[in-house]
């Protein structure tokens, strides 16, 4: 949409679909949803809204002549009933839920787009995260905001140790998925099952990691490090606990310093709108771009639904 028309009713009709936004850390998804709704509604009310409806009155003697009087209806005036578009009129729901301390890609469904958001959520697409941590300290909540409860040495940890550990953890998760299916990893059945795509657990509360790699380690950044993981059914406390587990297996301690969702399904950071860009024009452009992504990805989503483990 190259340029928005100035009539609010026309804009209201096209304001529907999926919008990809960037969620900052230290902000809840619920609060972010309210901010988005308020920004859109306020801008809608600044456009040309419909005028107040006229009040029509028939005056005169019932047995004599009558005349029709048309005057403004105060019962429909914005100063009486409020703005034409109000926050409760705009349904918005999220497709993926990010924790309070997690930043990154967040998908909202607007109006009829709430059904698309539900469809994307129920298909349980994989997500990718960049997780930052630091060796040498353990906190009571496994995150940087917690109280330090233990300190340890970390200089013995090497990049090769990290790569070997992450590879081992990835293999154990893959093995666990085949065990849930009751299939031997060395069998033909396992090969055929894997060739159909990623295996997803029927239990939506069971976190599964499909890939892990270290993307930042060594040099002046030490003892800080960063890993990227591809997973499903994850939640924030699970990801922070994962960093704590890595610290223990490295014979040290570690806590998480940051979590960023860099991809949800086919939506990446490049598709996400920053809060300063949350305007009607930018949101509608984003919705139209996301519709193309969904159209291309539709067939893949159906294949993913068929590969659920039951």
* 216: CATH: 3.30.2350.10
**Span 244-250, mean pLDDT?**
95
Which range of 17-26, 69-78, 186-195 scores highest in mean pLDDT? It is 17-26
Give the model's pLDDT for residue 18: 95
At 185, is the pLDDT very low, low, confident or very high (cuts 50, 70, 90)?
Answer: low
Range of the domain at 77: 54-83
Residue 1 lies in a domain: no
Confirm if 19 and 33 have CB atoms less than 8 A apart: no
Residue 114 lies in a domain: yes
Same domain as 60, residue 12: no
Q: Residue 30's CB: how many other CB atoms inside 10 A?
A: 9
Residue 100 lies in a domain: yes
At 180, is the pLDDT very low, low, confident or very high (cuts 50, 70, 90)?
Answer: low
* Radius of gyration (C-alpha) of the chain in whole angstroms: 27
Write the CA distances from 108 to 3, 101, 144, 267, 287, integer angstroms. Answer: 23, 18, 28, 12, 10
pLDDT digits (tens, 9 = 90+) for 73-116: 776 667 666 688 888 989 999 999 999 999 999 999 999 999 99
SS3 251: coil
CA 10/CA 85 separation, integer angstroms: 13
Give the model's pLDDT for residue 183: 62
CA 121/CA 97 separation, integer angstroms: 10
| The pLDDT of residue 197 is above 70 | no
**Span 110-132, mean pLDDT?**
91
Same domain as 153, residue 103: no
Residue 3 lies in a domain: no
To the nearest whole number, what is the mean pLDDT of the chain?
85
Beta-bridge partner residues of 80:
none
How many domains in the chain? Answer: 3
Give the model's pLDDT for residue 247: 95
List, in sequence order, every beta strand (DSSP E) within the chain: 17-23, 54-60, 66-72, 92-94, 102-110, 127-135, 137-139, 148-151, 208-216, 224-232, 254-264, 267-268
Same domain as 195, residue 260: yes
Its pTM stands at 0.83
- Which two structure tokens, joined as six digits, stand for 244? 């704590």
CA 50/CA 177 separation, integer angstroms: 57
Same domain as 277, residue 169: no
At 26, is the pLDDT very low, low, confident or very high (cuts 50, 70, 90)?
Answer: very high
Q: What are the residues whose beta carbons fall under 8 Å from the beta carbon of 160, sequence distance 6 or more?
A: none
Whether the CA torsion 181, 187, 188, 192 is positive or negative: it is positive
What is the DSSP annotation of 75-144?
A: GG-HHHH--SS-GGGS-EEESS---TTEEEEEEEEETTHHHHHHHHHHTT--EEEEEEEEETEEETTSBT
Same domain as 146, residue 18: no
| The pLDDT of residue 71 is above 80 | no
Query: Which of 79-88, 244-253, 266-275 is the least confident region?
Result: 79-88
Q: What are the residues whose beta carbons fall under 8 Å from the beta carbon of 17, sequence distance 6 or more?
A: 109, 110, 111, 112, 113, 116, 287, 288, 290, 291
Residue 2 lies in a domain: no
Same domain as 284, residue 215: no
Give the model's pLDDT for residue 191: 63
Residue 95 lies in a domain: yes
At 122, is the pLDDT very low, low, confident or very high (cuts 50, 70, 90)?
Answer: confident
Same domain as 138, residue 247: yes
| The pLDDT of residue 133 is above 50 | yes
Give the model's pLDDT for residue 81: 67
Looking up tokens 């040290």 gives 252
List, in sequence order, every beta strand (DSSP E) within 174-223: 208-216
Write the CA distances from 189 to 66, 166, 185, integer angstroms. Answer: 87, 26, 8
């Amino acid at each position: 949409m190259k340029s928005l028309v100035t009539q609010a009713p026309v804009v209201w009709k096209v304001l529907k679909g999926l919008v990809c936004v960037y969620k900052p850390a230290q902000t809840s998804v619920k609060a972010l949803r309210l901010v988005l709704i308020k920004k859109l509604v306020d801008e809608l009310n600044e456009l040309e809204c419909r005028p107040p409806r006229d009040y029509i009155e028939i005056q005169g003697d019932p047995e004599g002549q009558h005349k029709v009087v048309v005057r403004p209806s105060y019962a429909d005036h914005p100063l009486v009933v409020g703005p034409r578009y109000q926050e409760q009129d705009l349904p918005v729901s999220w497709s993926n839920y990010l924790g309070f301390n997690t930043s990154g890609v967040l998908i909202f469904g607007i109006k009829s787009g709430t059904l698309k958001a539900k469809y994307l959520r129920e298909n349980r697409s994989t997500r990718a995260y960049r997780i930052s941590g630091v060796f040498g300290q353990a906190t009571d909540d496994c995150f940087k905001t917690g109280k330090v409860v233990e300190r340890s040495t970390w200089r013995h940890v090497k990049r090769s140790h990290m790569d070997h550990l992450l590879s081992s953890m990835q293999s154990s998760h893959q093995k666990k998925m085949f065990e849930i299916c009751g299939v031997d990893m060395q069998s033909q059945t396992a090969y055929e099952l894997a060739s159909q795509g990623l295996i997803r657990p029927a239990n939506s509360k069971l976190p599964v990691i499909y890939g892990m790699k270290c993307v930042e380690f060594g040099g002046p950044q030490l003892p800080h490090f960063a890993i990227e993981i591809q997973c499903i059914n994850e939640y924030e406390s699970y990801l922070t606990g994962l960093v704590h587990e890595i610290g223990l297996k490295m014979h040290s301690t570690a806590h998480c310093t940051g979590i960023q969702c860099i991809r949800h399904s086919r939506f990446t950071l490049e598709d996400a709108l920053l809060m300063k860009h949350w305007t009607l024009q930018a949101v509608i452009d984003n919705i139209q771009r996301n519709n193309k992504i969904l159209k291309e990805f539709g067939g893949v989503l159906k294949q993913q639904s068929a590969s659920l483990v039951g």
